[in-house]
């Protein structure tokens, strides 16, 4: 029983330290989260050249299929806000 009390009191102290570190560096943590979330939120599409003069009458046969990747406006906004929060977090760390 004493072992469990000591373990939980030790874990409580460790958790308090981790919470304090995250609270001190909140801008950095949120900025990295937003930036990484936006970085991997890209979309993809497929461009296809068709045979014939009238593409709508052909069987939509692809001659030269190409894949393209893009970021939506919301994703670019996430990247920008995340980068701004990262810069604020770094500046707050340097000031300490």
Give the tens place of pLDDT for each residue, 5-18. 776 677 777 777 88
Nearest to 96 by CA among 27, 30, 23, 24: 24
Q: From residue 49, how far is each of 45, 56, 61, 66 by CA, in Å?
A: 13, 12, 8, 9
Nearest to 52 by CA among 42, 65, 37, 62: 62
Measure the CA–CA gap between 3 and 6, rounded to whole angstroms. Answer: 5
Say yes or no to pLDDT of 46 above 70.
yes
Say yes or no to pLDDT of 31 above 90.
yes
Name the DSSP class of 2: H
Give the pLDDT mean for 65-93. 92
Structure tokens at 67: 């894949």
Measure the CA–CA gap between 54 and 28, rounded to whole angstroms. Answer: 54
The three-class DSSP label of residue 84 is helix
Say yes or no to pLDDT of 58 above 60.
no
Q: At 37, is the pLDDT very low, low, confident or very high (cuts 50, 70, 90)?
A: very high
């Amino acid at each position: 029983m004493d072992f469990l009390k000591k373990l939980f009191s030790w874990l409580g102290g460790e958790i308090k330290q981790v919470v304090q570190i995250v609270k001190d560096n909140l801008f950095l943590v949120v900025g990295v989260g937003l930036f990484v979330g936006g970085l991997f939120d890209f979309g993809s599409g497929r461009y296809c050249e068709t045979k014939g003069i009238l593409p709508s009458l052909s069987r939509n046969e692809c001659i030269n299929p190409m894949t393209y990747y893009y970021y939506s406006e919301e994703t670019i906004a996430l990247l920008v806000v995340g980068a701004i929060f990262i810069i604020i977090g770094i500046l707050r760390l340097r000031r300490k």
